[in-house]
Amino acid sequence: MSTRLSSQEDYEKLLDSYDTWLFDCDGVLWRGDHLIDGVPEVLDILRRRNKKVVFVTNNATKSRKKYKAKFDQLGVVAHVDEIYGSAYAAAVYLSTIIKIPKNKKVYVIGQNGLEEELRDEGIQYIGGTDPEDNTLEPFDLSNFTIDPDVAAVVCGLDTQINYTKLSKAFQYLTRNPGCHFIATNEDSTYPSSAGLLPGAGAISAPLRYALGKDPVCTGKPASTMLDCVKAKVHFDPERTIMVGDRLNTDILFGKNGGLTTLLVFTGITSEDEITGPNPSPIVPDFVTQALGDFRIVERSS
């Protein structure tokens, strides 16, 4: 059963109990480019109380550096080494777990954030934002020359998705022996500032259906992202809390990692998924309407 935060004492107690605060981004800090009310103030409260703050987003459209620019643009204090995205996690997975050889390549379905993280990890890639792949022309398989050096297909949120990209990815995954199928994340929807849109999971879905197999997912709830955080940030899981808006990514990620979890209702999940007649089997430790609710601790009682 989740505990609903309500009194000033509830929020104070949570702040006292955890030294490291992991935040999901889309639906917790912002929706698209619209900052959610109270976020800068609450992050400031945490920093003034010497809490470690880490951002863990499944959104693979931006690299960590581009996310730092977004934080700056929105007036939210963040350091690039506090930011972990699913594009970074996928690049690290390819280099350190799969150990993709330097002479091999990745076929990308995704945007420049994913390309940038692959480049920074020294991984060659094709596809992605290449104009040749970003076309609405019919795909002509008889004119396609397969690249035998493609050893993995990585699929992330791609707002320019098309049949050519799906067809090329399908060729690599069915014709290049041992070609890895990797999804940066499998979120079904994306909480934009104007409402829900298809998420990265909806971009890889056609390939899963055509191939009859699932990709390896390196974003939340998989542990890859937490392993990336652990490699750079020392934290005690007992005194670490994960704040998210989606049950089957953020909250499951926190539970899988042995962290305490706090769900907010400013993104994907609605309260009836927790308190309604058919509650989710994924149960957060705590719930509150919005991150901004923590401002109560600075109101004079």
Check residue 24 for interaction with Mg ion (CB under 5 A). Answer: yes
115 binds Mg ion (CB under 5 A): no
201 binds Mg ion (CB under 5 A): no
In the bound complex, what is the minimum distance in angstroms from residue 145's beta carbon to Mg ion?
40
Q: Name which of 32 and 101 has its Cβ closer to ligand DEZ.
A: 32
- Whose Cβ is closer to ligand DEZ: residue 260's or residue 266's? 266
* 273: CB partners within 8 A, 6+ apart: 247, 279, 280
Tell which positions 244-263 bind Mg ion, by CB under 5 A. Answer: 245
Helix axes 64-73, 112-120, angle to 10 degrees: 130
Selection from ligand DEZ, Mg ion, none that 199 binds (CB < 5 to 8 A by kind) is ligand DEZ
Is 220 known to sit in a ligand binding site? yes
Name beta bridge partners: 180: 152
Helix 200-211, helix 163-175: angle, nearest 10: 50
Determine, following the binding rule CB under 5 A, whether residue 117 of this chain makes contact with Mg ion.
Answer: no
Q: Is 19 annotated as a binding residue?
A: no
Give the catalytic positions in this structure: 24, 26
Binding site for ligand DEZ (CB under 6 A): 24-27, 57-59, 157, 185, 187, 190, 199-200
Query: What's the CA gap between 128 and 131, in Å, rounded?
Result: 9
Per CB under 5 A, the list member of 5, 22, 26, 66 interacting with Mg ion is: 26
Residue 144 and residue 165: Cα distance in Å, rounded? 12
Tokens of 23: 């935040």
CA separation, residue 178 to residues 11, 72, 154, 187 (Å): 50, 41, 14, 26
Q: 128 touches which of Mg ion, ligand DEZ, none (CB within 5 to 8 A by kind)? A: none
Does residue 27 bind Mg ion (CB under 5 A)?
yes
Residue stretches of the annotated binding site = 24, 26, 220, 245
Annotated binding residues for Mg(2+), as ranges? 24, 26, 245
Which residues contact Mg ion (rule: CB under 5 A)?
24, 26-27, 245, 267
